[in-house]
Structure 1
Amino acid sequence: MSLAVINQNVKRTEILNQMVAAMHDQNAEGYSESIRLLAQDIEEEVLSKAQELANVSDREVLSQRGVRQLTSKEKKYYEALAKAWKATDPKQALTNIETVMPETIVDSVFDDLREKHELLNAIDFTNTKGMIKFLLNTNERAKAVWGNLTAVITKELSSGFKEVNMELLKLSAFIPVSQAMLDLGPEWLDRYVREVLYEAIANGLEDSIINNLVTDSGTIGMIADLKQGTANGNVITYKAKTATAIKDLQPATIGKEIAKLAVDENGKARVVQGVLFIVNPVDYFTTIFPATTVMGGDGTYRRDVMPFPMTIIQSAAVAQGKAIMGLGKRYFMGVGMGTKDGRIEFDDSCQFIEDNRVYKIKLYANGMPKDNNAFLVFDITDLKPLVIKVSVVSDEEVPAPASLNAPVTPIDTANPADANTNDGGQANDSGEEENAG
């Protein structure tokens, strides 16, 4: 990796951290400034890449370098969008655009999210398309019943579904667009818009998925105790789950905790699979890495060795000294386009730079654990490094090996019975002497 790429990654990380801090502090000005810096950073990256590949016309080569090949609908959409953005009255021009953002663009953003974010790839991350209400199946299995369909059975089956309001979390992605971006063409404009959308969804999302406890400020976090909540009108504030202290990752310790995941909140047994172990990156290298790394007989190290198959994920959203273990697919996260089917709107309220025109696109999202037993919280401050146990056995307990110089008893293949006598050697010797006589 080149020094320029490393510096760019560091710069992007600093901007994203600034954005998360502004979100936590509810600092609107700080958030707007971080969005401006983010868009500027993405624009510089796209312009640099476009200049690098200016003389490349081979579509396959461009695709290999990260320039996505557009469908006819996508190309038509970006051409109309660029034309509207260049208009004297862009607000009116955008209103008159009949073409809306094709779903394939959002699908591509989702693919990027799954590929680049291990946590988002491990949970039930769903593109809800244009749905504002989403019906979620909270039961892993519904048992078929023989006999009459009674009211009790109907109630039991229907209780496994709940309606999720996707409007509870609104993501507004602001997109400052300069003239230089519009002159690059549809393919590069696509890359810019998708990257802004990607960062708008991804940044802060892990923090919400893991930590949020209030229904109107994000998705409900994995640490939330869904059975302990206080309602204030339509807003519910949950308590965080109490962290269980664990001092090792031995089978007995981990098995006891996984057993808690083997039943849902209603006490029904379920198969445990797709287990996640989520920790802060600092804790991973100072605590988890020493506790899950062993040296093999060939002298090479094997890391992330657990007594039960699980995926260890590093996330800065997890508080240091804590860890989250749970069933990844038992967390639902849905993101979809707004009611206007992906229209990008002119925005007068947020002018970052005079030379840029600012636009926004609305996304709607929501997420929550599917049941209260799906995730556990641990205190790992006293977690011990992995120690390989070696048992020493005294000489008296080990049977002496047979001497290489010990006489070998011959077996008479003609008379196998002789070989089974108590004193096989003497019997054979006697027999040989009689035959000789």
Structure 2
Amino acid sequence: MTTGIKNPDKQVPAINKDEQIKALKMAFENGDSAEVAARIVENYEANQQHYQAMMDQTIAEAKRSQEEGWDQATLNARGVRTLTTAEKKFYNAAIEVESFDGVAALVPPTVFDRIFEDLATEHPLLSRINMQTTGAATMWVTRKEGATTAYWGDVCDEIKEMVDNGFETVDMGMQKLSGFLVVCKAMFELGPEWLDRYVRTLLTEIMATELEKVAVNGDGNKKPIGMMRDLDGAVSGGIYPEKTPVALPDFSPASIGELILAPTTKGGTRDYTGITLIINPLDYASKFFAIGAKQKDDGSWTFNNFAVPGLEIIRTPAVPIGKVVAGKPADYFMGVGSQAKLESTDVLRMIEDQRLYLVRQLINGRPLDNEAFTVFDIANMSLTPVEAVPVP
């Protein structure tokens, strides 16, 4: 069984990076093909050892499972799932030829459905947004804030207004997310279940970072529109401007009520029902952690004690340091195409017995309305914890 990176003397001669990028451009159909192709090559070179480590670990666990006779419960705990008939057919066909070439047309939608299930399970932000499987064209209807959508009158009164006046139809085409799957020949010796585990693990890792990034701050230019973007702002070159952040001076009840809770009522037209703060992990550790720490009379400590009813904090590197996004993730819609493509070309072969397979998935998303999310500037936020005032 082949493991580890091959001896450089036995490797297939490396292709010039410029030639790689030129050839990879042929695999893309959007206007940013050069940029995406360059990112793929650079990312692969920077993470080559990481991908090899993932393959080595999968191979080692698969061998151990055979030696120790793991039962299905143990396999499930390791991320090895029971496959559907279609999934087994796909992976067995790939194993037979030791390649995904020629069998990509057989890839069942459930393979990618499971990847998005893993994304939702392992990444809190992606599990909270409204992610739906859609077709290549996506339309959805949102309610216009403040519009009247129901009317009183006598039973026989004529309809005074069309109910549609209270709603807005948004027509969004799908955008293409391109990634790549690194597979060595030894991976095809593991059997369909372990090959599936590796494919899902790597693609989940690749897609998670990018999907969180665009859901938070995608600029809308051939990609989703993020929570931090102004839907009503002037669009230039397909790029939506960032929202003007609101300075948050401290995390006192007064500031929380006025700046964070009050806007969620939409000018008093609806009740407050909770809020989510999306924060960079560094800001949480350096600012919010200390504010939420409280020492009890017995000397023990409790954490995440904030004066915000219905508060949920989600940490993600997708949020820039010094900023916080406030809102409800469910007010962000992300449509995922029901079909995905898996392709490869000879130019993608980087080293002996390894190949990059190009994965393309149609995805798009945007906030349901411009007021769904507020961006706060916390660069100068006071870090002094709010002392509790005894109730007389």
Regarding TM over 0.5, the answer is yes
CA contact (8 A) 1:110 1:127 kept: no
CA positional deviation for 1:300: 3.1
The structure with higher relative contact order (CA 8 Å, sep 6+) is 2
Find the counterpart in structure 1 of residue 285 from structure 2.
Answer: 285
Q: Which amino acid aligns with 1:118?
A: P
Match of 1:49 in 2: 61
SS of 1:161's equivalent in the other structure is strand
Name the aligned partner's letter for residue 64 of structure 2.
Answer: E
Q: Does the 8 A contact of 2:149 with 2:163 survive in 1?
A: no
Residues 386-413 of structure 1: per-residue CA shift (max 9 Å, x gap) = 13245699xxxxxxxxxxxxxxxxxxxx
Contact 2:80/2:197 (8 A) holds in 1: yes
Comparing 249-258 with 364-373, greater Cα deviation is found at 249-258
Q: Which amino acid aligns with 1:162?
A: V
Kindly report which structure 2 residues correspond to 1:288-303, keeping only aligned pairs within 5 A, or say none: 288-303=288-303
SS in 1 for 2:83: coil
Say if 1:304 and 1:312, in contact at 8 Å, map to a contact too: no
Structure 1 gaps of 5+ residues are: 1-21, 394-437
Equivalent residue number for residue 80 of structure 2: 67
CA distance in structure 1 between the aligned counterparts of 2:189 and 2:38, rounded to whole angstroms: 36
Q: Match for 1:285: what amino acid?
A: A
Which one-letter code corresponds to 2:62 in the other structure? A
CA contact (8 A) 1:171 1:200 kept: no
Q: Does 1:209 align with 2:215?
A: yes
Go from structure 1 to structure 2 and tell me whether the alpha carbon gap of 1:23 and 1:126 turns closer, same or farther (over 3 Å shift): farther
Instruction: Give the 5 Å matches for 1:91-106.
Output: 91=101, 93-94=102-103, 100-106=106-112
In the alignment, is residue 222 of structure 1 matched against residue 227 of structure 2? yes
Contact kept, 8 Å, 1:213 with 1:238, in 2: the verdict is: yes
Query: Does the aligned pair in 1 maintain the 2:244–2:375 contact within 8 Å?
Result: yes
Is 1:58 the counterpart of 2:66 in the alignment?
A: no
Change in Cα spacing, 1:392 to 1:354, as seen in structure 2 (3 Å) is closer
- What do residues 198-240 of structure 1 show as CA deviations (whole Å, max 9, x unaligned)? 1232122222222222422x221211111112243xx2x2221
Q: Are 2:155 and 1:156 equivalent residues in the alignment?
A: no
Equivalent residue number for residue 411 of structure 1: none
How much has 1:260 moved relative to structure 2? 1.1
Q: Which residue of 2 aligns with 1:191?
A: 197
Distance 1:144 1:109 in 2: 41
Aligned with 2:265 (options 257, 262, 265): 262
**Contact kept in structure 2, 1:225 and 1:372, CA below 8 Å:** yes
| SS of residue paired to 1:125 | strand
Q: Which residue of 2 aligns with 1:39?
A: 51
For 2:188 and 2:37, how far apart are their aligned partners in 1? 34
Q: Which amino acid is 1:192 matched to?
A: Y
Match of 1:134 in 2: 138
Task: Note closer, same or farther for the CA distance 1:137–1:155 as it changes in structure 2 (3 Å cut).
Answer: closer
Match of 2:115 in 1: 109
Kindly state the Cα deviation for residue 279 of structure 1 after the two structures are TM-superposed.
1.4
What amino acid sits opposite 1:286 in the alignment? S
Mapped contact 1:272–1:327 kept (Cα < 8 A): no
Q: Following the alignment from structure 2 to structure 1, what is the Cα–Cα distance between the partners of residues 288 and 122?
A: 22
Q: CA deviation at 1:271?
A: 4.3
- C-alpha distance in 1, partners of 2:84/2:249? 54
Q: Which moved more, 1:298-307 or 1:319-328?
A: 298-307
SS at match of 1:171: strand
Paired with 1:68 and 1:391, the residues of 2 have a C-alpha distance of: 54
User: Match of 1:228, SS?
Assistant: coil
Contact 2:348 2:355 in 1 (8 A): no
Change (3 A) 1:25 1:180: closer
Give the aligned partner of residue 78 of structure 1: 91
SS in 2 for 1:229: coil
- In structure 2, relative to structure 1, the CA distance for the partners of 1:368 and 1:49 (3 Å cut) is same
In structure 1, how many angstroms separate the alpha carbons of the residues matched to 2:108 and 2:391?
68
SS at match of 1:344: strand
Listed one character per residue, the Cα deviations across residues 71-109 of structure 1 (whole Å, up to 9, x for unaligned) are 2222122112222445xxx74x337x6xx3233222221
User: Per-residue displacement from partner, 1:243-280 (whole Å, max 9, x unpaired)?
Assistant: 222222222211212221222xxx78344435211112
Q: Return the TM-score normalized by structure 1.
A: 0.72
1:18-29 alignment to 2 at 5 Å?
Answer: 27-29=39-41
Q: Distance in 2 between matches of 1:29 and 1:74?
A: 29
* Count of aligned positions: 349
Who is 2:12 aligned against? none
SS at match of 1:194: helix
Match of residue 242, structure 1, among 241, 244, 254: 244
Q: State the Cα distance separating 1:149 from its structure 2 match.
A: 4.6
Q: Distance in 1 between matches of 2:117 and 2:172?
A: 23
**How far apart are residue 155 of structure 1 and its match?**
4.1
SS in 1 for 2:149: coil
SS in 1 for 2:363: strand
Counterpart CA distance in 2 for 1:119 and 1:358 is 29
**Do the aligned residues in 2 keep the contact of 1:181 with 1:189 (CA within 8 Å)?**
yes
**Cα deviation, residue 133, structure 1:** 1.1
List per-residue Cα deviations over 1:160-202 (Å, max 9, x = no partner).
3312212x2x122322322211111000111111122212321
Name the structure 1 match of 2:349: 351
Aligned twin of 1:370: 368
Cα pair distance change 1:26/1:349, threshold 3 Å: closer
> 1:390-401 residue pairs with structure 2 within 5 A?
390=389
Question: Percent of counterpart pairs with the same letter?
Answer: 33
CA distance in 2, matches of 1:362, 1:113: 17
Question: Is contact 1:336–1:363 with CA below 8 Å preserved after alignment?
Answer: yes
1:178 aligns with 2:178: no
Q: Distance in 1 between matches of 2:37 and 2:340?
A: 29
Instruction: Give CA deviations for 1:353-373 in whole Å, capped at 9, x if unaligned.
Output: 232243223211111111111
Per the alignment, in what secondary structure is the counterpart of residue 195 of structure 2?
helix
SS at match of 1:226: coil
* Offset at residue 35 of structure 1 (A): 6.2
